[in-house]
């Protein structure tokens, strides 16, 4: 049975005292790892089976000495500077064949960064405090080429934020040491602070490319859900690679529909509408007064997130 993951609330807070554990924010794919005897399974945030997508993580999990484990973490690809790179991870997230996976394993290795322990050898650890769960997790000594527990700090939020900004990292996550694990809840006991404005957006349409982009997507029409209705949030026309353009063109073509999925304000007339089934990761400067994204840039697709779960995050000022 899938466990709904506990989620963090976005704020611009900087003052975290000794009752908060702080980590840098990892730009990856949130996953639950299960081990029951000799059987292992990696699941995405929306419960999809990722077995075989990241075989190096599967192998590391199978070799762990505990008979039963349920771990919460994030699959991350790191660049040559040791920074999490969602763009690199994209080359592993959408592979369909075993030969492609093996080839990309050599070119783009991934690491499962584990930050929580939810079940251990017959006992749920979710009723324990986060401090207690992390102590148990550290005792498992999960360190290797394909998985590890992240370094963390207690307090000093402003210092860590400044360090992540210098490194070009997305931001930090702060978790109250006395917090329990609350499945499916976006809790104020877990807080994320970003150096850049970034969130998921639902793709509801696209415009056709011109010139060098002829035959591909020119821009994406994106939005978010509010009270069950898809609200238009603007066009995203930059940040694409040749690979992502080919992927988007192929997948969006299969989702064409006649009527707009957006409620209220509509995208430009030249927009080709699609079923709102794909989620894009978008970086932007800020929200405009009219409720659209200013200077948005496409970062990748998020098959691990259900479109209906995409809502507008609070307006905060990125660092």
Residues 21 and 137 in one domain: yes
Residues 169 and 264 in one domain: no
Measure the CA–CA gap between 200 and 86, rounded to whole angstroms.
13
Residues annotated as part of the active site: 25
Question: Same structural domain for residues 136 and 234?
Answer: no
Q: How many domains does the chain have?
A: 2
Q: What is the pLDDT of residues 195-223, one digit of tens each?
A: 888 999 999 999 987 766 667 899 999 99
Quick check: is 1 in a domain? no
Say what the pTM is.
Answer: 0.84
Pairing state of beta strands 171-176 and 186-194?
A: antiparallel
Answer with the one of 145, 167, 194 that is the final residue of a domain. 194
Look at residues 147, 167, 194 and tell me which one is the last residue of a structural domain.
Answer: 194
- 18 & 135 share domain: yes
Domain span at 64: 7-194
Of the residues 166, 194, 222, the one at which a domain ends: 194
Structure tokens at 187: 């809790």
The dihedral formed by the CA atoms of 257, 262, 268 and 271, expressed in degrees to the nearest 10: -20
Given a cut of 60, is residue 309 above it in pLDDT? Answer: yes
Does residue 314 belong to any structural domain of this protein?
Answer: no
More confident residue, 220 or 37: 220
Residue 316 lies in a domain: no
Q: What pLDDT score does 96 carry? A: 54
Does one domain contain both 173 and 101? yes
Q: What is the mean pLDDT of the chain?
A: 89
Residues 90 and 225 in one domain: no
* Least reliable range by pLDDT among 77-81, 145-149, 153-157, 278-282: 153-157
Q: What is the domain-level CATH number for residue 111?
A: 3.30.470.30
Nearest to 264 by CA among 223, 210, 308: 223
């Amino acid at each position: 049975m899938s466990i709904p993951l506990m989620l963090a609330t976005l704020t611009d807070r900087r003052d975290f005292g000794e009752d908060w554990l702080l980590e840098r924010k990892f730009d990856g794919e949130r996953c639950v790892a299960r081990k029951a005897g000799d059987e292992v399974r990696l699941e995405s945030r929306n419960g999809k089976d990722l077995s075989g997508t990241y075989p190096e993580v599967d192998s590391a999990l199978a070799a762990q000495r505990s008979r039963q484990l349920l771990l919460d973490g994030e699959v991350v690809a790191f660049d040559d500077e040791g920074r999490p790179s969602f763009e690199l991870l994209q080359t592993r997230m959408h592979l369909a064949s075993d030969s492609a996976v093996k080839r990309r394993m050599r070119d783009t290795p991934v690491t499962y960064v584990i930050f929580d322990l939810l079940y251990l050898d017959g006992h749920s650890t979710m009723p324990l405090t986060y401090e207690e769960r992390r102590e148990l997790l550290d005792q498992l000594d999960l360190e290797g080429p394909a998985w590890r527990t992240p370094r963390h700090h207690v307090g000093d939020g402003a210092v860590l934020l400044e360090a992540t900004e210098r490194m070009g990292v997305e931001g930090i996550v702060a978790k109250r040491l006395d917090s329990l694990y609350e499945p499916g809840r976006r809790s104020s006991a877990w807080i994320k602070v970003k150096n850049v404005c970034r969130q998921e957006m639902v793709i509801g349409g696209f415009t056709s490319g011109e010139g060098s982009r002829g035959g591909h997507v020119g821009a994406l029409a994106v939005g978010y859900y509010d009270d069950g209705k898809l609200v238009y949030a603007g066009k995203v026309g930059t940040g694409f690679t040749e690979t992502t353009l080919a992927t988007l063109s192929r997948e969006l073509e299969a989702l064409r529909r006649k009527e707009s999925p957006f409620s209220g304000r509509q995208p430009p007339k030249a927009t080709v509408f699609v079923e709102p089934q794909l989620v894009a990761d978008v970086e932007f400067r800020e929200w405009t007064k009219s409720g659209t994204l200013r200077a948005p840039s496409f970062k990748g697709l998020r098959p691990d997130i259900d479109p209906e779960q995409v809502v507008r995050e609070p307006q905060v000022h990125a660092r």
